[in-house]
Each structure stands twice: as structure tokens, then as C-alpha cells.
Amino acid sequence: MNKGHVIAFTLGALSFALISTLMPSDSQLIGKKQPSDSSDNTLSDPLESSFNNIKEPLTETLSTQHKSIQNSLTALTKSELVAEVERLESELTHATQKHEQLIKEVSEHAESMLRDKVAELEQQMQQQLELLLSDGADTLNLATKFEQQTRDDHWAETTEAVFQDFFTTHDFIEFVQLKTIDCRESICKINYQYADDFESIHLFQHKLSEFVTKHKFATSQSQEANGVVNMHIAK
């Protein structure tokens, strides 16, 4: 029941009580005789006394009902406030749960992406490792083949002269020193060393690679330690 219903119901009840109190019953109207004009002054005092007897309890009743209405309205307002607080608390709880769920979903997604990235990097590293191991095996195999070959003097001397010419004419002579060169049937072993202050190693390696390719060498592997390069090239 809302505030309007409470007020209307209370006022209606008070009106009915007032009418019932002021109006005499049917039996009282029938049994009472009509007073004569000469009795008007005689009845005025009892009527006034009766009215006062009705007025005092009616006033007290109205005051009591007014307080009751005020208390009802106050109680209804508090009830509404409690209901509003409960509603807000419910919405806050729902929002908090939703926020926590979103954080959980984002965290799980980020963790999944991180795991995928780690797996991808591990795969790339494994591939690179396998490639390095393969290159090392090929180098070792090429070095083994070099040791197993006998020397073809004509081809060996011609090839050695070509590489000696390269190492004495390239643009980085003061930084790169040819130590030894030894050729067999189809494989040559070349040892050279970089200077400590040489800063253009990659440029020299590019020049040497072009030279090796130009002279029809199909395979070239090298190993470096402390600035000393051990290189094998094969036709």
C-alpha cells in the first residue's frame, strides 16, 4: 500500500466515525418528541454540554490518528530508503563480480598468448639449434673429407695462387692476415686472422664470399675463435 492509499483510508475512517458520533440513531429520532418554542432555552445547555462531550474525544481521536499517519509515513520512508540501499548494494555486488570476471578473462587471455609466444620462440630456437648442429656436422664432415683427400698438385697450386692473390689485393690487408692455405683434390683449407681493432669484418667476409662463389666453390664453412678463422671450401 502506498502513501496515498494510507492517507485516503485514514481520512475516510475518521469521517465515518465523526458522522456516526454526531447523528442519533433512528430509535432516538422516533422516540424523541418535537420541542416547543418555549423549551429552546431549556435545551440549549444540555445540547452544548453534549457537543463538548463529543468534541473532546473527537479532537483526541483526530490527534491520535494524525500521529499514526505521521508514524506510518515516516516508517514508509525508512522502508523505501532501506529498499534503495539494498538495491544499490545488489548493483554494486553485481558490478564487482563482473569486474572480477573481466580481469580473470583478460588474465587468462594474456597468459594464453604468452604461452603461445613462448612455444613459438622455443620452436624457433630448436630450429636454429638444429641448423647449427647440421652446419657443425657438415663442417666436421668437410674437414674429415679434406684429411682423407690426396693432393692434386696442379689444381692445388693453381687454386692456392688464386687465393694468395686475393689476400694480398683486397681492401683490408692491414687488418686481415693470411696464415696458411692448403688445397687437396677438391677441398681447400684456409687459415687467416683478424686484427684486434678491425671493425669491418662483415665487409671482408662479403668480399671473400663473392670471391669463393666466383671461382666455382659450391660449399664454404668456417669456424672462428679469438679472431682466427679456420675455413674449408669445396668444389
Average pLDDT over residues 139-150: 84
Q: Is residue 40 part of a domain?
A: no
Containing structural domain, residue 220: 150-234
Which of 110, 125, 148 is a domain's end point? 148
Instruction: Mark whether 97 and 168 lie in a shared domain.
Output: no
Task: Say if residue 141 is in the same domain as residue 211.
Answer: no
- The H-or-E segment that residue 228 falls in is strand 228-234
The pLDDT assigned to 99 comes to: 83
- Does 215 fall in a domain? yes
- CA Rg, the chain, in Å? 58
Pick the closest to residue 3 from 79, 104, 86 (CA basis): 79
- Domain end, chosen from 116, 148, 180, is at 148
Higher per-residue confidence, 16 vs 127: 127
Indicate whether 133 and 154 sit together in one domain: no
Task: Establish if 25 belongs to a structural domain.
Answer: no
Q: Which of 98-102, 111-115, 118-122, 148-152 has the lowest mean pLDDT?
A: 118-122
102 and 155 assigned to the same domain: no
Specify whether 183 is located in the same domain as 154.
Answer: yes
Please give the order of strands across the beta sheet that includes 228-234. 176-183, 187-194, 228-234, 219-225
Assigned C-alpha cell, 149:
683427400
User: Mean pLDDT across the stretch 71-100?
Assistant: 77
> Are 136 and 165 in a shared domain?
no
Of 148, 181, 203, the position where a domain reaches its end is 148
In this structure, the answer to whether residues 161 and 79 fall within a common structural domain is no
Confirm whether 81 is domain-assigned. Answer: yes
| Residue range 171-200, pLDDT digits in tens | 999 999 999 999 999 999 999 999 999 989
Proportion of the chain above pLDDT 90, given as a percent: 30
Distance CA 188, CA 184 (A): 6
Q: Are 193 and 176 within 8 A, CB to CB?
A: yes
CA atoms of 215 and 163, how far apart (whole Å): 10
pLDDT in the model for residue 29: 43
Check whether residue 101 and residue 177 sit in a common domain: no
Burial call 74-100: b when 16+ CB within 10 Å, e when fewer: eeeeeeeeeeeeeeeeeeeeeeeeeee
Q: What is the pLDDT of residue 22?
A: 47
Q: What is the CATH number of the domain that holds 220?
A: 3.30.980
Q: Is 220 exposed, middle or buried (0-12, 13-18, 19+ CB in 10 A)?
A: middle
Same domain for 155 and 136? Answer: no
Task: Provide the 10 A C-beta neighbour count for residue 184.
Answer: 19
Residue 168 clears pLDDT 70, i.e. is over it: yes
Does one domain contain both 112 and 124? Answer: yes
Same-domain check for residues 75 and 140 = yes
